[in-house]
Amino acid sequence: MVVMSRLNASIDNIRDLGTKNLWQKEYIYDMPLKHEVHSNKVFWKGCFDYLCSQFDELNPDEVVVGNLADNNIYPFLLKKRKKIQQITVLDDGTPTLEIARSLQQGFFRKTYHVKSVKNILKYISFFNLWLPLISIPRKLTFYTLFNIELRPEDTLIPNKYNWVRRRVKEKETTRELLFIGSHIVDRNLVSEADYYDSLKIVSDIAQKEGLDFVYVHHRGESEKIRNYIQENYKTREFSLPLELAYLDESRPICFAGHFSTALFSLSRIYDVEMRAYLFPDSKIIGSQHESASYIRYLQNVIERDSYIHSSRLTN
């Protein structure tokens, strides 16, 4: 197993759940922050060279990745494409939906592969890869909770969270509504004002129902967003992924959020209420990397999900 992360404390906690027996050897690359290196090329080449060197040492038949289009992973997959026999894509949450949809509908190459002239030049300069002449990955296996449509050559394996579910202990529930925060303002998906308004609405709903509103910070939140929320609401942070934080602990009577990946995964693991408070389509902004149409599509997926109770916030 090769891991590239700045969250080594979380890795240690996951090992304690019994995962250390699932692989023969670990290779840990402690990723630097971009501002800690003197150039973008040094940062991206560091990740790329590390993966390539471990691949050459291990010579595996199969490569298992999280986000197929991750900026660290994708150039490595292209570089070693002639030697990799099989690529399996583990659920990386909601990005899995858009990657699978883009492959199936034929816009993956434009959206994730070529992207822009700037991206083409980056791949030539950093990785010695000429993107226009390279084909996109074929014959992928998706291990996912989502019932997604795939290309004819791809394979779907349903993720039912059996390993995690076997470790859930019977515990009492608290009177908390635990709201799963997100950095959707920092990603320019909704406005700061609309995000704050949504928290006030959900907090008021919780209060009317006799529940304690508790906000879980997202590690990607800006300091400004984090400070505002801490000043106005009770907050909490976890070193473990939220899906693993309550295996042997008293858990909230309700998890809530907007369109967080955790709503999907938590709903398959714990037998408690899941709520999604979705934005009106008119409030979705979108960005270069996450279009407004994709976010609207994602909200529609949540509305069709039988595990999650969803409602639209009012304009």
pLDDT in tens, 200-238: 999 999 999 999 999 999 988 999 999 999 999 999 999
Read out DSSP for 146-190? S-----TT-EEEE---HHHHTTPPP--B-SEEEEE---TTTTTSS
Q: Are 65 and 90 in contact (CB under 8 A)?
A: yes
Instruction: Name the more confident of 85 and 26.
Output: 85
Q: What is the pLDDT of residues 265-278, one digit of tens each?
A: 999 999 999 999 99
Judged against a pLDDT cut of 90, whether residue 41 lies above it is answered with: no
Q: What angle do CA 294, 300, 305 make, to 5 degrees?
A: 125
Judged against a pLDDT cut of 80, whether residue 315 lies above it is answered with: no
Judged against a pLDDT cut of 70, whether residue 304 lies above it is answered with: yes
- Give the total residue count for the chain: 315
The helix (run of H) or strand (run of E) holding residue 43 is helix 40-58
Q: Where in the chain is the domain with CATH 3.40.50?
A: 167-312
Q: At which residue do the structure tokens 């197993």 appear?
A: 1
Judged against a pLDDT cut of 80, whether residue 193 lies above it is answered with: yes
> CA 198, 264, 243, 215: dihedral to nearest 10 degrees?
0
Cα–Cα distance, 172 to 23 (Å, whole number): 34
Regarding pTM above 0.85, the answer is yes
**What CATH class is the domain 167-312?**
alpha beta
pLDDT at 29: 75
Rg (CA), the chain: 20
Per-residue CA distances from 78 to 45, 61, 75, 113, 217 (Å): 14, 15, 5, 10, 35
